[in-house]
Chains A and B, each alone.
Chain A
């Protein structure tokens, strides 16, 4: 029996570059930085910049809806609704052609509702337990974004929340594709969200020396693969993809952006926070994804790198790609979009999945900004301007790696 094929039929995002896919893609192609000063919120903190959302989600959603959702769920809902509208499935749902029992959600967050948790903690200390919100738990729980989307769109199949730190968003794409391949659902919304630009996570990430301490021009701080990189910049927002079985998408004449060809998930078992310097776990994930996809190394035209702008991780990723793809690693075009969006943690893999799919769709790899002097240990063709990708059948890899040693690679292909 042939395997169920999974395609991408809808895209959504709200990101540091824009409140939707069109503005975000335009920002990526233009090489615009979404990193800005954080203002008063960052007073006294060791890091005072971040890639904040370009559009305040509370201004987009209905006021009563917004006040019952943590900021991370607000981002998730906005991105999911855009992807849903983009897919054209709303009309299938209205006509009864989409069975809600066969519609799932896999939506990730790395950290959960940290704004809600910490603001209620402040309330507890200042005003006492009676003033803690009765909806604090459903707002801050890790599966709140997935559940919010399920409730809003009537998804009654599996509704999951994979959590693997900065690999979470990409893992959600993998998990959603698996649910379709296993025949559990026909349609799934996959994605990831994060809203962790708050003094406590900033202090914590800074104290573990993960964040850049560069206090120069904020737009120049996130510099993956550059010799001057010294850590990542926190970002926030969400990315969402509507995944669908090929059969289901073709039956309704859907526009197909790309196919999910294969996925790979591994763990380093090396260190809770540091990547394996040789990138062995990441290489195994990429190899597994490429094998699952059934593509040859030479078919891979583009990689959206995890590339967070840390000294160790960016070099390890170059090693991984060479270990798996051999000489073909020299011929593909690599983009490090975190140079513009900062690091969305649990949302990163999802936003970058959206960017990878758009790169295939438009046959254009987005640029990597701030790459003034490429680290000689990074032996990759990193795009610094938008670059054309070949016509014909191509594949692209989206890499995500997270604390805990999580590694997730997803191979997307052009629609066939």
Chain B
């Protein structure tokens, strides 16, 4: 999957979980500050993303995923591993 494909798929999850319009889920956006995704919603996004992309995102890693770009980069690194 390309970076853009991952971003778009993640944006769909964020839209489903938190109701944020998918096209505002861009790489430079902070989940908590820009998109208003609270901590429990973030866990929901992570769990959905794990299933969608076939990756594992440990709880300790979640706090490092501050922006959409952080999450997309993490998924890209781990998607084939």
> Using a CB–CB distance below 8 Å, which chain B residues touch chain A?
17-19, 40, 43-44, 47, 50-51
Which of B17, B18, B19, B50 meets A130, CB within 8 Å? B50
CA distance A135 to B39 in the complex (A): 10
Within the complex, the shortest CB–CB distance from A126 to chain B, in Å, comes to: 12
Would B19 and A64 count as touching, CB distance under 8 A?
yes
The A contact surface, by secondary structure, is helix
Interface size band for A? 10 to 19
CA distance A126 to B64 in the complex (A): 30
Contact residues in A for B18 (Cβ distance below 8 Å): 64
The B contact surface, by secondary structure, is helix
Contact residues in A for B19 (Cβ distance below 8 Å): 62-64
CA distance A393 to B23 in the complex (A): 61
Would B47 and A131 count as touching, CB distance under 8 A?
yes
Contact residues in B for A138 (Cβ distance below 8 Å): 40
Within the complex, the shortest CB–CB distance from B51 to chain A, in Å, comes to: 7
Within the complex, the shortest CB–CB distance from B59 to chain A, in Å, comes to: 10
Would A133 and B44 count as touching, CB distance under 8 A?
yes
Contact residues in A for B43 (Cβ distance below 8 Å): 134
Contact residues in B for A64 (Cβ distance below 8 Å): 17-19
Which of A62, A63, A135 meets B44, CB within 8 Å? A135
Contact flags (1/0) for A135-160 with B, using CB distance below 8 Å?
10010000000000000000000000
Within the complex, the shortest CB–CB distance from A334 to chain B, in Å, comes to: 47
Contact residues in A for B47 (Cβ distance below 8 Å): 130-131, 133-134
Contact residues in B for A130 (Cβ distance below 8 Å): 47, 50
Contact flags (1/0) for A116-142 with B, using CB distance below 8 Å?
000000000000001101110010000
